[in-house]
Amino acid sequence: MSSPRYAAIMGWGMAVPRRVVTNDELARRIDTSDEWIRTRTGITQRHVAGPDEHTSVIATAAGREALERAGLAPAAVDTVIVATCTPDRPFPATASTVQHNLGIPRAGAFDLAAACSGFVYGLSVGTGLVKSGMSRTLLLVAADIFTHLIDWEDRNTCVLFGDGAGAVVLRATEQPSGLLSSNIGSWGEGEGLMAVDAGGTRLPATPDLLAQRRQYVYMHGREIFKHAVRGMCESAEQAVTDAGVGLDAIRLVVPHQANLRIIEAVAKRLGLPMERFFVNLDRYGNTSAASVPIALYEAVQQGRVVDGDLVLLTAFGGGLTWGSCVVRWGTPAL
């Protein structure tokens, strides 16, 4: 039997924690203001996980919705990928927990860590598995409780992030659908521009390091800003070229939702109006790997993407990683 030519996106789901934290609430706790956060980032609120809402919980909820929309039973899934940099535990993979929670009887299950680029990386890897014939039905969930890595006393970082999960189901098909092109990249020299130092094998967490708050994320925001714009623009242009189309054929760009000014800079450099970009970071903040699938989910629900449309997904994140892909939206009959 020959390998399928495409991996269609058959179902989609999302989940966010219950609690909403507004800019005003943050301004009551640290030296910041709603005005600063809105004008510098575009964010007005974010969802923050409670103790019972760890990564696998919201990942499972998003995955369940995606399977229901696809009209597929859990038993149909043969591969589960969870893109996350905030797993439930250092070991084993959160994907195995999600598989168990969803009652998926037998499947390959693994986590993929590419920070905020995780969904685009996962879509590229997942499509490769389907197109090679190794997988027929694949559940990809991108989920992060990034606020777990946040120092709530550091105003440089704590205002930027929120928690969430997004999921899609990929299914082998011969109909032209799903990823038409994709590329992923990383600039390893920039791995120290944004990181959590303590808690891994290089610097196991000790009482001293915890007292220095080294278990939390730090970042060089301005430098990341510049790399983000360049990385997303170059990889987006490459994806469009590889898909054999022009930017004018793209119905909607769904970018990583880190900062409205980054998205505006990307739009300007690509020569596209902001109306062609989907933005929902005002309500969620930067949800790391979950940001692109949550934005894609809302774009579809709002009718901004319909069957047959070409959608450009583009992301960047810690690493520094980036990636873009062109998707032909459409749900072929099972």
Shorter beta-carbon distance to ligand ACO: residue 10 or 320: 320
Instruction: Please tell me which residue in 23, 233, 286, 325 is annotated as part of the active site.
Output: 286
Nearest distance in Å: CB 171, ligand ACO: 29
Give the burial class of 235: count Cβ atoms within 10 A of its Cβ; 0-12 exposed, 13-18 middle, 19 or more buried.
buried
List, as one string, the DSSP characters of 279-329: --HHHH-B-GGGHHHHHHHHHHHTTSS-TT-EEEEEEEETTTEEEEEEEE-
Torsions phi, psi for 170 (to 5 deg): -105, 140
> Which residues ranging from 85 to 144 are in contact with ligand ACO (CB under 6 A)?
115-116
Residues 5, 20, 22, 32: which binds ligand ACO (CB under 6 A)? 32
Residue 44: which residues within 8 A CB-CB, separation 6 or more? 22, 23, 34, 37, 38, 282, 283
Shorter beta-carbon distance to ligand ACO: residue 229 or 252: 229
Nearest distance in Å: CB 253, ligand ACO: 17
Q: By CB under 6 A, is residue 152 in contact with ligand ACO?
A: no
- Decide: helix, strand or coil at residue 47: strand
Site string for ligand ACO, 218-257 (x = CB under 6 A): -x-xx-xx--------------------------------
Q: Are strands 252-255 and 310-317 parallel, antiparallel or unpaired?
A: parallel
Shorter beta-carbon distance to ligand ACO: residue 96 or 235: 235
- Using the contact rule CB under 6 A, the part of the chain among 11-19, 74-82, 155-163, 170-178 near ligand ACO is 155-163
Q: Put the strands of the sheet holding 79-83 in their side by side order.
A: 108-112, 79-83, 137-144, 164-173, 6-15, 178-186, 321-328, 310-317, 252-255
Could you give the angle at which helices 221-242 and 260-270 cross, rounded to 10 degrees? 40
Shorter beta-carbon distance to ligand ACO: residue 159 or 243: 159
Which candidate, 64, 70, 76, places its Cα nearest to that of 102?
64
Q: By CB under 6 A, is residue 260 in contact with ligand ACO?
A: no
- Using the contact rule CB under 6 A, the part of the chain among 36-44, 52-60, 98-106, 169-177 near ligand ACO is 36-44
Residues 318, 326, 327, 331: which binds ligand ACO (CB under 6 A)? 318
286 is catalytic: yes
148 is catalytic: no
Cα separation of 291 and 278, whole Å? 11
Catalytic residues: 116, 256, 286
Residues that bind ligand ACO in the complex, under the rule CB under 6 A: 32, 36-37, 40-41, 115-116, 155-156, 159, 194, 219, 221-222, 224-225, 258-259, 286, 288, 317-318
